[in-house]
Amino acid sequence: MYSRVPLPTDNIYKFYALFGLVIILFSFSSLIYVNKATNDLVFETLIKEESLKSLKELSAIQKAELAIIQRKYEIAMSDKNFYLVACSLFAAAGCYLAFYGFKHWHTKLQPLQDEIIELTIQKLKKELGVNLSNKEIKSD
């Protein structure tokens, strides 16, 4: 499979910046997904838990099911906290990488590239000026 989007291999800082942005997007989408999935699980378990608690007398099986539901809720909340911290750390690393890449790209490489372009334009103007003056002489 061929990639239609060319990777920025001409400039390592550009790669850092864009890769940092990808990490940020991935982290935020993961945060949203983890939050939604955990909320769905929590709502489901709370409904089951409350329906079991509403019964006056619980059988041994129902008590075991209630304990499992409560443990499932605790695990879901613990996992949610872990994933939120992990995704936040990835987002922070992505922000640092993007900032580092854009800063160095803008302050170190872009001025050099601008200068190269300006010198190339001046050189071409001089060459065209010489060529135009030669053509004018030849055509006279």
pLDDT at 32: 94
The whole-model pTM stands at 0.69
Q: Which ranges of 54-109 does DSSP label H, i.e. alpha helix?
A: 60-104
Torsion sign across C-alpha atoms 86, 88, 89, 94: positive
Residue 140 has pLDDT above 60, yes or no: no
Domains of the chain by residue range: 12-101
CA distance 106 to 128: 31
Convert the pLDDT of each residue in 23-68 to its tens digit: 999 999 999 999 999 999 999 998 988 888 888 888 888 889 989 9
pLDDT of the residue at 132: 62
Question: What is the model's pLDDT at position 51?
Answer: 87
Inter-CA distances, 122 with 45, 80, 90, 110, 129, Å: 72, 60, 46, 18, 10
Q: What is the DSSP letter of 6?
A: P
Exposure class string for 85-111: b at 16+ Cβ within 10 A, else e = eebeebbeebeebbeebbebbeeeeee
Question: Which pLDDT does position 136 carry in this prediction?
Answer: 59
Q: What is the pLDDT of residues 82-113, one digit of tens each?
A: 999 999 999 999 999 999 999 998 898 888 88
Residue 31 contacts residue 103 (beta carbons within 8 Å):
no
Q: CA neighbours within 13 Å on the CB side: how many for 98?
A: 14
Q: Which two tokens stand for residue 6?
A: 């060319």
Indicate whether 120 pLDDT > 80. Answer: yes
pLDDT-based confidence at residue 6 (cuts at 50, 70, 90): low
